[in-house]
A and B are shown apart, each in its own frame.
Chain A
């Protein structure tokens, strides 16, 4: 129904979001753990948000993927290039389910998405917006070589720290 590219990394598959991701996302967004990424939300709001993840692709020509663990096809989160109306510039954003943290999945998927932005789309810069209290996401951004580069006050999300990723030419070889 929509032609979104699929990416793969060592352990993960980044594929188009689908209706099948809704139950897991609804659980996640109903929980307190989603407080750093726009939640908690009702199931109805989550359904609309998931539809908007898909609609983002035709509206911008890029968007976010659902992440599966390749071996098990387990859905563990959403990651990718996010730039809805009102965003300061395109960002690399990730939301990982409860059971998938602490294994390096976010960093691995984010590196694949960043490589897509730089290599396939030809982007020359990229940010990640992180809530100041979200230390785990800040750690992922830092691990990827991104540095705190100003702040952005969003009308719904409040204050967000802007992490700027290294430009394509300066990405260290071990992070390409």
Chain B
């Protein structure tokens, strides 16, 4: 029996589809989570903790009504990574997070494209008025992406307690633009 999240939004960009995570994404998440590539999100994980972490990624949608999207190329449902709004109980504020599960999909600005779409979703649909990205200090690729997205270092922001043992930087995204009608215009 297949049971998946239902009635979740699907976002589309020039090259990508962004959809909710599902059980069938587990094998590629598992490979990623147990690899060195997961070092900046608390990994590498064991099979047991990788499974629980993915259960949490899926369940976050039901808990909050939103969560990390899985992004895929338009002609394939193969998951390439996660990107989007993230707010577990111990996060000081709402985050835009991202992971890329293999080197094959780096260097093509795919995550930049996906992150812009989810930031727009967070501002326009969820009504967020601010968002941060928590980034481990040595993670230069993520820092470069945050800066390209217009986010700037916020030295006054609180870091999740779980990250107290390491140096974590808080990048704050530009606030949504308020248009002349008082509504929030997509920032992109």
Q: Which of A52-60, A67-75, A167-175 contacts B (4 or more CB under 8 A)?
A: A52-60
CB distance from B5 to the nearest CB of A (A): 5
Q: Are B63 and A19 in contact (CB under 8 A)?
A: yes
Q: How many A-B residue pairs have CB under 8 A?
A: 110
B57 interfacial contact with A, CB 8 Å: yes
Q: Are B88 and A55 in contact (CB under 8 A)?
A: no
- Interface range on chain A (Cβ under 8 Å from partner): 20 to 34
The residue that A62 contacts in the complex, of B1, B54, B64, with Cβ under 8 A, is B1
A100 interfacial contact with B, CB 8 Å: no
B23 interfacial contact with A, CB 8 Å: yes
For B7, the chain A residues whose CB sits under 8 A away are 1
**Considering only CB atoms and an 8 Å cut-off, how many residues of chain B contact the other chain?**
34
Q: Are B51 and A85 in contact (CB under 8 A)?
A: yes
Q: Which of A40-48, A127-135, A139-147, A158-166 contacts B (4 or more CB under 8 A)?
A: A40-48
With A1-B8, A44-B90, A47-B63 as given contacts, are A52 and B52 in contact (CB-CB < 8 Å)? yes
With A54-B62, A58-B3, A59-B23 as given contacts, are A84 and B55 in contact (CB-CB < 8 Å)? yes
Residues of B within 8 A of A (CB): 1-8, 21-23, 26, 47-48, 50-52, 54-65, 88-90, 161-162
